[in-house]
Amino acid sequence: MATKPAKRTSGRPAVSADPVAREALLDAAVRLFAEQGVAATSSVGIAREAGLTPAMIHYYSRNREQLLDAVVNERLAHFVAHVFDAPMPGIAATTMVATIVRRLFEAAKLMPWMPPIWIREIVSEGGALRERMLGHFPVAAVTVLAERIAHDQREGKIPAGIEPRLAFLSIAGATMLPLSVRSLWSRMPGLATLTDVQLEQHALTLLTAGLAPATTGRHQSS
């Protein structure tokens, strides 16, 4: 008895699922989002950037909202996980800050599209990905950082003027901001040759020195 052909389900084209093609589409999406923003990036443009037909993007993402969900959950969230998912138990606040800074620059090297997307689509008012990213905000890690700074502050290891709850914003400002607007500041005199290594060292020194207690006996001008 002959076997009947499998009945096709309605709603989707007869295209074999290709995980490589799907990954290419997501990679193309984040590159274009970083370069020109979410609003200015069309589905056709993403497909062209990925070297695929427009029909393919509709196969893997039935609509634009589904595509944005995939970009956030499978690309942007990986950046956050790279920085914050590895535990940092029982270390001093200064060491914790330095670790986060190093991981941020490491993640930015692996995922260079994240800093411009961060400032354009997440931090900026009306950013297209802001609400989606709120669910991936590292609340637990940021809370641990603030608590560790407050603890070390009570022990006199960190200056009293430091506000623990602003630590994460200070880290983001010293790392993600310069990386995200490199195309602007690199056009200023003397800044074009700055490397990522120099940016990282500057952020590390700026943030960890700010957490260091004042040296006793330091000469003070009258």
Instruction: Report pLDDT digits (tens) over 53-92.
Output: 988 888 888 889 999 999 999 999 999 999 999 888 778 9
Share of the chain above pLDDT 70, in %: 88
Q: Answer yes or no: is pLDDT of 5 > 50.
A: no
Which of 46, 113, 34 shows the shortest CA–CA distance to 79? 113
Q: What is the dihedral of CA 114, 117, 118, 122, to 10 degrees?
A: -140
Share of the chain above pLDDT 90, in %: 71
* pLDDT recorded at residue 90: 78
Measured from the Cβ of residue 108, the count of other Cβ atoms closer than 10 Å reads: 23
Q: Answer yes or no: is pLDDT of 1 > 60.
A: no
Query: Which residues lie below 8 Å from residue 104, measured CB to CB, with a gap of 6+?
Result: 83, 171, 175, 176
What does the pLDDT average to over 164-169?
96
Q: Answer yes or no: is pLDDT of 185 > 50.
A: yes
Residue 86 in 3-state DSSP?
A: coil
Q: Answer yes or no: is pLDDT of 15 > 80.
A: no
* pLDDT recorded at residue 221: 40
Q: What is the pLDDT of residues 37-53, one digit of tens each?
A: 999 999 999 999 999 99
**This prediction's pTM:** 0.84
* pLDDT recorded at residue 6: 46
Q: Mean pLDDT in the chain?
A: 88
Specify the CATH number of the domain 18-62: 1.10.10.60
Domain 71-211 has CATH 1.10.357.10: yes
- What token pair was written down for 157? 């290891």
- What token pair was written down for 69? 């969900």
Q: CATH 1.10.357.10 in the chain, residues?
A: 71-211
Q: What is the pLDDT of residues 113-137, one digit of tens each?
A: 999 999 999 999 999 999 999 999 9
* pLDDT recorded at residue 215: 61
- More confident position, 43 or 220: 43
* pLDDT recorded at residue 214: 63
| Angle subtended by helix axes 19-36 and 64-71, to nearest 10 | 90
- More confident position, 203 or 2: 203
* pLDDT recorded at residue 55: 86
Q: Answer yes or no: is pLDDT of 14 > 60.
A: no
* pLDDT recorded at residue 49: 96
* pLDDT recorded at residue 222: 35
Q: CATH 1.10.10.60 in the chain, residues?
A: 18-62
